[in-house]
Structure 1
Amino acid sequence: MTTATVETPETESRDARSRNTTTPLGALLRGQGLAGVLLIAVIALAGVFAGALNQFDPLAQIPSANLLGPSARHWLGTDHLNRDVAARVLAGIRLDLLIVALAVPLGAVIGSLAGLLATVNPVADVTVQRLFDLVLAFPSLIFAIALAAITGPGWHAVVIVIVAAQIPIFGRQIRTAVLAVREQPFVEASEVIGAGTWWTLRKHVLPNVIEPLVVQFALSLSVAVFLEGAMSFIGIGVQPPNPSLGSLIGESIGNLDANPWMAVGPLVVVAGLTLGFLLIAQALGNARRSG
């Protein structure tokens, strides 16, 4: 004897909420996804509206303001060159986000195109995979040091390193996803009726591999923040007097006893950006698995 399940408004509402949390947008509006979005939004807005939040020029030297502690006038004190630390941190946020926003999408596009190329032709597949192996054989910081020795340090070196680090990651991700989706019956059916390779990729394969790429994109943003910080910290990234979060931490090393907030400010921001992007990546990944 079987019993029928009675659908009530409460049950339907609960089911609708469950479905919503499995979509990327729903994942970003609840729990850790929402926490990550809010964290990134607060930091990004602080960088965008730096001029309204702080009255000091990040490059200006303030008379009689050497290594001052935090105060109502200087939130994070001043540095060894009489510059307002808070103003430099806010400017560093803006520069870091610009670098990340340029480098990660560029690496994602190049890597995805290379991954798609590898699925079209066996010779291209072998060539692309060996190039990916070559890039992955070198740790990112070792590659960064070699690049800086050739081209010189600067923000351009940071962009190139981030792009190079992301190309094989996105390339292999999309190659694996395309090969898996291409074996599905609906793709085989389209090929049977005469659909071309690129038409099949565009209409059937790509829409089904977007979700894992979105998750990887959020994760790559957090890695890019770390790479910029590491390169600027050791002196091969953004160069003084321009402030970046990594260079600000490097400048603070010799002055921690006088004003430790020179390091605390940028460290908190780097941790916040990294954590925010990781929370978003985890939320998107959980939504994908539960969907």
Structure 2
Amino acid sequence: MTRNAVGKTPVTLLGLGAMGTALARAWLAAGHPLTVWNRTPARAAALAAEGARVADTAAEAVAANTLTVVCLLDDTSVDEALAGAGLVGRDLVNLTTSTPAQARARAEWARERGARYLDGGIMAVPPMIGVPDTGGYVFYSGSRELFERHRATLGVPAGTTYVGADAGHAALHDVALLSAMYGMFAGAAHAFALIREEDIDPAALAPLLADWLTAMAPAVHQTAGHLRSGDYTEGVVSNLAMQVAGTPTFLRTAEEQGVSPELLGPYFELMRRRLAEGSGEEGLTGVIDLLVG
């Protein structure tokens, strides 16, 4: 053990893919004694050279320390890795991507086996891990006491954001944010498709597009306010009726440019449906109600 490891919480890490390896290196760099396990042992060789202890089995790795962090491929992989592990009295932090229902089931699974449980959703890519000021962080949900106990250790690779005692809420926040990201990517893809066959440099459009999306992003606060108050007309500048009236121009432009409307069409259809319900003075918040239930 190195001198700077004294007093640092020992960590067991299961899973050494790109994200797991980045997590491991962050804890090693911060002086945490680290035990690692990976289904493919060769992946652990470099970390062993950097000071990690390599366990032959997942059960051996779990037995080594109170705190075990899991970062595997999927929920099934967690089942397989922990099948023979003794979990009584252990602190289990699961950073494996899962659904909210899987996270809740895993929390109950851990409780039945005598373990304390936290679920996590990583809002970062591997190059952001262990690098200050990159903006990466991890959502955590489940035992608040467990989160506070290990907050400093969990905060070494990336920032920490606790989102509630419901073990499914970290996964839900993770998927909610990523869903919005993919919606943004879809809009950007349509924008670039429109200019694809024109004498317009995509690199010239990119900063305009980025600035426009940045300017539009604060609209989410108005949407949140509408959902809390139930008044979908408050502060609306461009109402639904006006926006629906403009959608044929977008669709006609796509047709003229030889671009499929399949990314925009479903959203425009929801807007038309909401308008047909007599909600022309609202903004776009009412579309959410059409998606729920």
TM over 0.5: no
Q: In proportion to residue count, which structure has more helix? A: 1
Name the TM-score, length of structure 2 as normaliser. Answer: 0.25
Greater relative contact order (Cα < 8 A, sep 6+)? 1
TM-score normalised per structure 1: 0.25
More strand by proportion, 1 or 2? 2
